[in-house]
């Protein structure tokens, strides 16, 4: 490994560094303003004011009421609250016991739905995508039933970057009166987040993919949708999620989301240009590009090379100072092929070959040249021919 060369981080879909503005915004609430926002004394009131201000900041980006936002501990928890909360409430109220999702969801959604199927008697439909990871609106519509309690479809796929037709799917659900949840954890700073225009009823966000802190998430929920709490205890957050709110993390999340939205207009075209440069170079090297060619996140490039294991390639690149991934960070230590690529119709060998590069604010054209140069060298070493 060349220790004289700075490391190049290209795994922004897994985690991002804290933006300096986020660090500055959080600092005060780790030290001087440490109060519990549930307390009625001066310190508590100051803490609650900080939370309220943060929620109003996020609400302005989502174009919703701050009272419709629930703070959680992660995007995964937000997905659990949306799916379990709505499904259980619907089953109690009118016996609805069917959930519709897709086979390419993040495991925060997929495994939660499967758990409800296995342990709570729900029926589950997992819609299959096409070879590009795009879901058909017609297939989604055809899978809806009179007893469908919830539809949960991700905004953009974390592994291959394909962006779904959320607004159209949401309209279909709205016409049928079925609650629609969207996991948007990969979308902040890259795609519009205005919930009403997207026709969504529940919307999951987190901060750690958008230069904000880990350990905090958010759920927008239309107040007209019944939502049973998943975590019980105190009466915080209108009884939707018990537990003391982590004030510094909420402030940091709001700052990160607002900053990402402000920069989106200029950052997305820049990332698209860099991704196009990388995709072209990967094709020249013989790479098989995964995901939709146009309906995709600006920063996500997924590729595989015939006969070369993705995990091995990631480790070789890591030794050269380049960080990338084989897929979702939460499953990177598992040996099974990507469930996303398998659902898209790829065989085990092709799915295990996948490597994901996700670019960030600091990525430059020179960085892309470095990746392609390193890959050219590594591929010669690993090539079975």
At residue 124, the 3 state secondary structure works out as strand
Question: Topology of domain 8-17+264-382, per CATH?
Answer: 3.90.1150
Q: Where are the domains of the chain?
A: 8-17+264-382, 20-259
Q: In terms of DSSP H, where are the helices of the chain?
A: 20-30, 42-62, 75-94, 107-120, 137-143, 166-176, 195-198, 247-284, 310-319, 339-343, 348-352, 365-382
User: In CATH, which of 3.40.50.720, 3.40.630.30, 3.40.640.10, 3.90.1150.10 is domain 20-259?
Assistant: 3.40.640.10
Angle between helices 247-284 and 20-30 (to 10 degrees): 160
C-alpha angle 301/302/308, rounded to 5°?
Answer: 135
**304 — alpha (psi -120 to 50), left (phi > 0) or beta?**
beta
Neighbours of 51 (CB within 10 A): 20
Active site residues: 330
Q: Provide the edge-to-edge strand list for the sheet that holds 300-304.
A: 288-290, 300-304, 355-358
pTM of the model: 0.95
pLDDT per residue as tens, the chain (385 positions): 445 679 999 999 999 999 999 999 999 999 888 999 999 999 999 999 999 999 999 999 999 999 999 999 999 999 999 999 999 999 999 999 999 999 999 999 999 999 999 999 999 999 999 999 999 999 999 999 999 999 999 999 999 999 999 999 999 999 999 999 999 999 999 999 999 999 999 999 999 999 999 999 999 999 999 999 999 998 888 889 989 899 999 999 999 999 999 999 999 999 999 999 999 999 999 999 999 999 999 999 999 999 999 999 999 999 999 999 997 555 555 578 999 999 999 999 999 999 999 999 999 999 999 999 999 999 999 886 6
pLDDT the model gives residue 165: 98
Beta bridge partners of residue 290, listed in sequence order: 302
Q: Could you tell me how many residues make up the chain?
A: 385
pLDDT the model gives residue 4: 63
Give dist(CA 159, CA 358) in Å, integer.
9
């Amino acid at each position: 490994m060349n220790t004289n060369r700075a490391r190049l981080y290209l795994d922004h879909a897994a985690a991002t560094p804290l933006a300096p503005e986020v660090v500055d915004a959080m600092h005060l609430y780790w030290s001087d303003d440490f109060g519990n926002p549930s307390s009625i004394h001066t310190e508590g009131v100051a803490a609650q004011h900080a939370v309220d201000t943060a929620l109003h900041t996020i609400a302005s980006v989502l174009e919703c009421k701050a009272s419709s936002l629930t703070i959680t501990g992660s995007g995964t928890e937000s997905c659990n609250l949306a799916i379990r909360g709505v499904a259980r409430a619907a089953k109690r109220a009118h016996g609805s016991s069917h959930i519709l999702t897709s086979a390419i969801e993040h495991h925060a959604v997929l495994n939660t739905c499967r758990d409800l199927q296995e342990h709570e008697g729900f029926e589950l439909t997992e819609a299959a995508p096409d070879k590009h990871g795009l879901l058909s609106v017609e297939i989604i519509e055809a899978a809806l039933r009179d007893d469908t309690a919830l539809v949960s479809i991700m905004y953009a796929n974390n592994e291959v970057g394909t962006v779904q037709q959320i607004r159209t799917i949401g309209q279909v659900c709205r016409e049928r009166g079925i609650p629609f949840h969207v996991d948007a954890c990969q979308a902040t700073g890259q795609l519009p987040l205005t919930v009403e225009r997207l026709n969504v009823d529940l919307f999951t966000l987190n901060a750690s993919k958008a230069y904000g802190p880990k350990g905090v998430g958010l759920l927008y929920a239309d107040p007209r949708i019944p939502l049973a709490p998943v975590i019980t205890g105190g009466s915080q957050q209108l009884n939707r999620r018990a537990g003391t709110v982590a004030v510094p993390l909420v402030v940091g999340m709001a700052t990160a989301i607002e900053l990402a939205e402000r920069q989106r207009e200029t950052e997305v075209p820049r990332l698209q240009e860099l991704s196009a440069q990388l995709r072209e170079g990967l094709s020249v090297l013989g790479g098989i590009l995964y995901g939709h060619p146009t309906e995709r996140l600006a920063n996500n490039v997924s590729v595989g090379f015939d006969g070369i294991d993705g995990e091995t390639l990631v480790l070789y690149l890591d030794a050269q100072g380049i960080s990338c991934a084989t897929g979702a960070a939460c499953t990177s230590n598992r040996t099974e092929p990507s469930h996303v690529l398998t659902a898209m119709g790829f065989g085990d060998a092709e799915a295990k070959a996948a490597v994901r590069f996700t670019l960030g604010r600091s990525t430059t054209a020179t960085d892309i040249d470095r990746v392609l140069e390193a890959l050219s060298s590594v591929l010669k070493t690993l090539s079975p021919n």
